[in-house]
């Protein structure tokens, strides 16, 4: 009798090992529903954000430096939404100014001065509408300067060269944006760029540096521009 009970016990254990182990799916279902809920919130927030954009612009640049004349400035850039009404903006521009001769003499000995600002910052919408919006922009970056066309006469053995290093700049602007279509917008902007630079005048005699002198250049300028912006 005892042997028969042991055999039945062993068969029961083997039968238990063959039974499939089932998991309670009801435990995972709330987690799945919660994950779907979070994803729906994320998609709804993303859908409310403005789309990224690229833009081109052109306008007038009036330099604060009295030796530097006004010039046409053109450029391009892109923007990306950070929050509702707030965008990150990056843009690159260039303008070629003529040097104005002064009665008492010039500190810049070239005919042309090229200013190429590289700026990045934030744009905040202050008035929003379905077709027309107004905004403020604050930017910082680097201005690359170039001088072309030496405008002084020297003896053959003497050479004069000037250079202006890349300098940090700051710009503030106010603008308005008009929706022409779903993706295409027209915008206008007026701003002021602030910056200073210390240039160097180097005099060479038969390729040998004989004198080096510094001069101050005001990089500040007012600008007014119009442009087109395309939203993806």
Report the pLDDT value the prediction gives residue 43, as an integer from 0 to 100. 47
Specify the pLDDT at position 105: 83
Can you give the pLDDT at residue 90?
Answer: 97
Q: Where are the alpha helices (DSSP H) in the chain?
A: 2-18, 28-48
First to last CA, the chain: 85
Question: Interior CA angle at 125 toward 119 and 129, to 5°?
Answer: 135
Residue 50 banded pLDDT, cuts 50, 70, 90: low
CA neighbor of 62 nearest in space, from 173, 187, 224: 224
Q: Is 20 inside any structural domain?
A: no
**Residue 186 pLDDT:** 97
Number of domains in the chain: 1
pLDDT for residue 215 is more than 70:
yes
Six-digit token string for 92: 């690159």
Q: So what's the pLDDT on residue 31?
A: 63
Answer yes or no: is pLDDT of 188 > 60: yes
- Label residue 49 by pLDDT band (50, 70, 90): low
In a domain, 174, yes or no: yes
Is 90 a domain residue?
A: yes
Q: Is residue 12 domain-resident?
A: no
Task: Let me know if residue 36 belongs to a domain.
Answer: no
Out of 12-16, 84-88, 89-93, pick the least confident. 12-16
- Domain membership of residue 23 (yes or no) is no
| Percentage of residues in the chain having pLDDT higher than 90 | 63
User: In this predicted structure, what is the pLDDT of residue 30?
Assistant: 65
Whether 75 maps to a domain, the answer reads: yes
Domain that residue 226 falls in: 50-231
Question: Does the pLDDT value for residue 112 go beyond 90?
Answer: yes
Residue 201 domain-assigned (yes or no): yes
Within 10 A of 1 (CB to CB), how many other CB atoms are there? 5
Question: What's the CATH number where 174 sits?
Answer: 2.40.160.20
Q: Are 148 and 94 in contact (CB under 8 A)?
A: no
pLDDT digits (tens, 9 = 90+) for 122-148: 999 999 888 899 999 999 999 999 999
pLDDT value of residue 36: 63
Average the pLDDT over each of 34-43, 100-109, 144-153 and give the range with the smallest value: 34-43
pLDDT of residue 7: 46
């Amino acid at each position: 009798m005892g042997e028969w009970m042991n055999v039945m016990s062993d068969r029961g254990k083997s039968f238990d090992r063959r039974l499939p182990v089932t998991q309670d799916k009801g435990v995972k279902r709330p987690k799945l529903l919660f994950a779907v809920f979070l994803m729906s919130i994320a998609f709804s927030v993303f859908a409310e954000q403005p789309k990224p954009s690229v833009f081109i612009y052109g306008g007038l640049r009036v330099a604060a430096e009295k030796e530097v004349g006004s010039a046409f400035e053109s450029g391009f850039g892109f923007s990306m939404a950070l929050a509702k009404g707030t965008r990150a903006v990056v843009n690159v521009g260039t303008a070629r100014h003529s040097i104005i001769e002064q009665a008492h003499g010039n500190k810049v000995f070239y005919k042309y001065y090229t200013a190429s600002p590289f700026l990045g910052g934030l744009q905040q919408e202050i008035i929003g509408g379905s077709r027309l919006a107004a905004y403020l922009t604050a930017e910082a970056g680097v201005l690359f300067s170039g001088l072309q066309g030496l405008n002084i006469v020297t003896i053959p053995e003497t050479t004069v060269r000037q250079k202006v290093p890349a300098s940090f700049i700051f710009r503030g602007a106010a603008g308005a944006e008009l929706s022409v279509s779903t993706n295409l917008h027209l915008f206008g902007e007026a701003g002021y760029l602030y910056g200073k630079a210390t240039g160097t005048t180097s005099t060479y005699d038969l390729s040998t540096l004989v004198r080096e002198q510094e001069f101050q250049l005001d990089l500040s300028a007012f600008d007014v521009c119009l442009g087109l912006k395309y939203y993806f």
